[in-house]
Each structure stands twice: as C-alpha cells, then as structure tokens.
Amino acid sequence: MVVSALYNMVDTLFVGQGVGPLAISALTIVLPIQLVIMAIGIMVGVGSASVISRSLGANDKEKALKSAGTGIVLTILLSILFMIPAYILIDKILYFFGASPNTFAMAKDYMVIILIGFVSFSFAILANNLIRAEGKPRASMYTMIIGAVCNIILDPVFIFVFNMGVRGAAIATIISQFLSLLFAVSFFISKRSIYILKLRYFKPDLKLTREILAIGFPSFALQILGSVIFLIFNRSIIHYGDDLYVAVMGIGLRIMSLIEMPIIGITQGFSTLVSFNYGARLFSRIKKIFKEALIWTVFIAGTGFIIMMFFPEQIIGIFTKDKSLILMGILPIRIIIIFLPFLGFQILGGSLFQAIGKTLPALIITMSRQLLLLIPALLALPLFFDLTGVWMAIPVSNFFSIILTFGFVYWQIKQFNRIKDVPAD
C-alpha cells in the first residue's frame, strides 16, 4: 500500500522541483482522470479475482482460467473504449476538471502521454489482482514495487537530464507501468503460475462477464467517487483561490495518502483476523485484535500528524523550492490534518462491520466520510468561509464520520460483551 502511494507521489515531487508549482497544479488536475483509468482495472481485477479464488476453492480450475481470460479481454476493451473518446475530448475534459489558461498546456502534455499507457496500466492492475487470486501475494507485490522503483529512477532522468518537464514525468510513468506489465506476463508464462494463456480462454463468456462486473462494480464506484471529490476540490479551489492553491491541495492529499495507505494495509490484515474469530465465536479476541490494530493506526497517523503540524514548511519544501507556495501551504496543511490521528479508527470501524457481515453499518461508515459528509461540506462551507471553507471540509467531515463510527462500534462492542466466547465445533 505504501508503494502504491509512492507511485502517485513521485511524479509530483520531481515535477515540483524540476518544473515549478504550476506543474504540480497541472498534475493535480489530471489526477481525477487517472483515478478513472485505475477504476477500470480495479473493477475487472477485483471481480475476476473473486471468481477465480472461489473457483480454485471449489477445485474448478477450468472456470478460473476462463475468468482470467475474460478479465484480460474485458480490461483491454474497456480501456480502449475510454481512451478513444478521452483523446477526442481531451481539451473539454481538462477544462471541466479545473484546468486554467496557466495550467492547461502542461496538463494536456501530461495527459496525452498518460493515455498512451492506459491499456498497460489497467492490465497491470488486473494482473496484480489475478496473481493475488492464485495465492501468490509476494509476486503480486513485486509487480507494484518494480513499477514504483523504475518510476523513481526514470523521473529525474527524463525531467532533469533530458529536460522534458511534465512530459518526461509522464513518459517515465508509462514506461514503469509497462515494466510492471512485463513482469506480470513473464510470471503468467512461467511454471510458477497456474494460468495457461491459451487462445480458447480469451473467448469472452457472457455469464462470467456479468459476474465479474457485478462483483467489481462497488470498487469501481468508490474509485469514481474519489475522482468526483477531486473534481469538486479542484473546481472549488479555482473558484475561491488560484492555481497555486490547487498545487497546495495536490501536495496535501498526496502526503495524506502516504499516511493512509499503511493504515489501509493494517485494516486488510485486521479484517481477515476478525472474520476468522467471528466465525469461531471468539468475541473477546476480536476486541483484542481491534485494540491492537487501533494502537498501530493511531501511532502511524499520529506520527504523520506531528510531522505535518510542526514541520509543514519542510514537508512542502520536499515538493517545491517556491517560497510563496510553501508559505501559502502552511495553514491549509495544518487545517486538513486536524483529525488525522483518529482516521484509523474510522477506517477500522467500517472494516469491523464488513468482517462480521453486517452490511448496513459497514456501508454507512464507509460512505459517510466521502459521499455523505465530505461532498456536502465541500459544497456548503466555502459559501460561508470562502477558500478556508474548502480546507475545512476535510476535518469537518472527518469529525462527524468519527463520531458516527464511534456510535456504531460502541454498540457492537456492547453486543460482544453480552455474549461469552463459544468456540465453534
């Protein structure tokens, strides 16, 4: 998860240092579009992985292989179907997502190249899920690490040595994504993988297609929701501020993601342990697991909070040498992280209810922070506090989401306390 966050952060860091603050704004404008690209790979990847894992569990290897082939064909087709209109409407898309006359040219230079790697990026995300589905999480991790490390190496080469600016960052990104894809393909054709890339498995199966898309659609919807939130952020900032404040938001959200990703990683492990112990009716152990996970998430988020609250100039200075941008960013950074130490509790709360099969509380908690609270806060608070209201939307939505999560978790813990541990037979 940390590697995934670094992937999104590296371009911004080198572009900020090598090109300037407006280049950070340009990349922030393109970010929601990149999230849509990721959404396609995630949707097909999650759906395919679910079908494959269940098929392997039922000892139906043929269905698993057909699902993998169907997933690959779906990813390629959907990527092309999105890429073509994106190229045709690129100018309108960029202006819609918040590009200004100052950032449009750089945003277009970056997006034109990024779209070239659309298919390989979506395929790499799919492959990551397919490898994990066959029970090879380490190999799955390598696909991410190879891309991230290559991006870190190639970015300064194309930006500083070849002096290619944002286009250099985009070229470095698509090369890195392609190398991740090559590793995944080499793994598939090796004897270490169960997948057999024969032509007959690439004939799309309508029933499998419906199942894959149905399972993967919630993940697609959440990713698109993230894109919509970035869109509202960008347009609100341009309306109440200027392009430099878009750069501030881009830096702030990327740092936040670097802190949030390891918390999500812990949550994934936490969810598995809770599900197992809930099935075994060992409720006291669930409380112990929750406490342990909470301690670690508070430690990670709290450390990030201290660094960002007391050293914002140094953190922003990693991305840019522009003194005015650094000074502009201090207050917004401090505002958006106010409730950061408690972020892990909110994420763990949603995962707790998912793990024990209580869909409604899980859905309310998961959606509250963004859809139910953040978007309304983004639309309402700037009407009263102008640009400061845009920054305030994040801690305000976090606060109410944490309170909501506390209510649900407190109720569930009381339920656990009423029942004695009864180990399953």
Q: What is the pLDDT of residue 14?
A: 92
How confident is the prediction along the chain (425 residues), in pLDDT tens digits per residue?
677 677 668 888 899 999 999 999 999 999 888 888 888 988 898 888 888 888 887 888 888 899 999 999 999 999 999 999 999 999 999 999 999 999 999 999 999 999 999 898 898 889 988 888 888 878 888 888 898 889 989 999 999 999 999 999 999 999 999 999 999 989 988 878 888 777 788 887 889 999 899 888 877 888 888 889 989 999 999 999 999 999 999 999 888 888 988 898 898 788 878 888 888 888 999 999 999 999 999 999 999 999 999 999 999 999 999 999 999 999 999 999 999 999 999 999 988 988 888 878 888 888 888 888 999 999 999 999 999 999 999 999 999 999 999 999 999 999 999 887 666 55
| Alpha-carbon separation of residue 237 from 13, 143, 342, 390 (angstroms) | 21, 35, 26, 7
Distance (Å, whole) CA 248 – CA 233: 11
Domain boundaries, the chain: 1-235, 241-425
* Under 8 Å between Cβ of 268 and 318: no
Q: Dig out the tokens for 109 from the structure.
A: 């230079």
Contacts within 8 Å (CB) and 24+ apart, 65-69: 65/194, 65/195, 65/196, 65/201, 66/201, 66/205, 66/208, 67/208, 67/212, 68/130, 68/195, 68/201, 69/197, 69/201, 69/202, 69/203
The answer to whether the beta carbons of residues 267 and 347 sit under 8 Å apart is yes
pLDDT of residue 422: 64
pLDDT of residue 287: 94
DSSP codes joined into one string, 360-388: HHHHHHHHIIIIITHHHHHHHHHHHHHHH
**CA 106, CA 165: separation in Å to the nearest integer?**
9
